[in-house]
Amino acid sequence: MLNDRQIRTLAADVLAGIAPEAELSSVGDHEDLREALDLDSMDFLNFVIGLSERTGRPIPEADAPKLFTMAGLVAYLGG
């Protein structure tokens, strides 16, 4: 299981490969990552796929809305 810091680092690493100009550290825990980082649906899908690949944990499409915020992402991957 990953802790909060590990999840945030992982998210930043995955995001860097998709949208290098996006600064995850500037996004509040409850802000919508898609809006705050100007991610289109394909970018967000690639972000979710990258998280799944890096963690080895399947993330069903139905669970994607749980990852819209950093707080949701930390709760989902840390749980």
The CATH number of the domain where 34 resides is what? 1.10.1200.10
| pTM across the whole model | 0.93
- 79 pLDDT band, cuts 50/70/90, is confident
- 1 pLDDT band, cuts 50/70/90, is confident
Buried-state track 16-27, b at ≥16 Cβ within 10 A, e below 16: eebbeebebeeb
What span, in angstroms and rounded, lies between the C-alpha atoms of 76 and 66?
7
Provide the number of structural domains found in the chain. Answer: 1
- Domain boundaries, position 41: 4-21+29-78
The pLDDT score that the predictor gives to residue 56 is 96
pLDDT single digits (tens) 14-56: 999 999 999 999 999 999 999 999 999 999 999 999 999 999 9
